[in-house]
Structure formats: structure tokens, C-alpha cells
Amino acid sequence: MTQCGAVSLVAYLYDYDDRFFVGWKLDLSWVMTTVSWSVMLVIAGFVSIAGWVMPPEGGYELLK
């Protein structure tokens, strides 16, 4: 989730900060980061659905 927040911050700064002058563009790292957190959200959704749909395992057994 931190990665998604960082991407949002950079997107905001890209639109409103003077450091990003005309002609400046976000390159391959921007695309890779966006793909990364998108995949992370999809996987988190699948894990949440699996935890909700699958039956409980019954807990842990003590080792002796």
C-alpha cells in the first residue's frame, strides 16, 4: 500500500510542481511501478477471497 501512495504522490507532483517542466516524462520505471502495485492489489484480492471461501484448517497441532 505504501507503493500505491508513493505513486499517487508522484502523480500529483507531476501535475502541479514546477520541478516537472514541459517536456518531462515519466519513463519505464513509472510503468513498472504501476504494473507492480496493480498486480499486488489483484493478488491481495485473490488471497482475501480464498480466505473467505476456503474452509478453516482446524488450527495448529502442538509439537512434542
29 domain-assigned: yes
Average pLDDT, the chain: 85
Average pLDDT over residues 19-47: 87
The pTM for the full model equals 0.63
6 domain-assigned: yes
Q: What is the pLDDT of residue 59?
A: 75
Q: What is the pLDDT of residue 49?
A: 95
48 domain-assigned: no
Confidence of residue 45 (pLDDT cuts 50, 70, 90): very high
How many structural domains compose the chain? 1
Q: Which residue has the cell 501512495?
A: 5
58 domain-assigned: no
* Residue 14 to residue 20: CA distance in whole angstroms: 6
Q: What is the pLDDT of residue 1?
A: 67
Cβ contacts of 39 within 8 Å, gap of 6 or more: none
Q: What is the pLDDT of residue 15?
A: 83
